[in-house]
């Protein structure tokens, strides 16, 4: 399952169509919060997420997932490329960082890399948050929204 998270409905639908055309199952979310509260976290093989969204950003989402022990490969897409953000998410394990509008072939290449990585690593998951989230870079305000959810 490929989870696509973007507050822009057009980008969400277009990305969903591209990924489905490759034969993958997808699920879409309008926000990082929707994803974290869904039942799709444990069956997601790759997350494709926008960087800047209302509420929890894609970068904050990555921090929360890492704090929970979830190493699902992530691909970031953004209309506002920033080298500092790019470096941060890649150092935290992201597979790719693409600027909108992105080239379909680049996304496909990153997706294939992500799925190979996911299959090879087995992507351990844990829904435990706690103090590990702060160590992973998720601030107290971010954690307060999801701590104890088990989402």
The answer to whether 27 and 3 are in contact (CB under 8 A) is: yes
| Structural domains in the chain plus CATH codes | 2-144 (3.40.50.2300)
What is the rounded distance in angstroms from the CA atom of residue 54 to the CA atom of residue 71?
24
pLDDT for position 148 = 45
Q: Other C-beta atoms within 10 Å of 35: how many?
A: 24
Q: What stretches of 44-127 adopt beta strand conformation (E)?
A: 46-50, 74-78, 96-99
The answer to whether 94 and 87 are in contact (CB under 8 A) is: no
Render each residue's pLDDT in the chain as its tens digit; 151 residues: 999 999 999 999 999 999 999 999 999 999 999 999 999 999 999 999 999 999 999 999 999 999 999 999 999 999 999 999 999 999 999 999 999 999 999 999 999 999 988 777 654 444 433 333 333 444 445 545 554 444 3
């Amino acid at each position: 399952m490929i989870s696509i998270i973007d507050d822009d409905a057009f980008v969400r639908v277009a990305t969903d169509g591209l990924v489905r055309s490759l034969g993958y199952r997808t699920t879409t979310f309008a926000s990082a919060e929707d994803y974290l509260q869904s039942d799709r976290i444990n069956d997601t093989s790759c997350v494709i997420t926008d960087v800047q969204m209302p509420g929890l950003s894609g970068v904050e989402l990555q921090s929360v997932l890492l704090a929970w022990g979830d190493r699902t490969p992530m691909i970031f897409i953004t209309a506002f490329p920033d080298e500092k953000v790019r470096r941060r998410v890649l150092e935290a394990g992201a597979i790719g960082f693409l600027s909108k509008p992105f080239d379909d072939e680049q996304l496909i290449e990153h997706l294939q890399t992500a799925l190979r990585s996911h299959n090879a690593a087995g992507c351990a998951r844990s829904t435990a948050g706690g103090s590990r989230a702060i160590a992973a870079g998720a601030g107290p305000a971010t954690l307060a929204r999801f701590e104890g959810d088990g989402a």
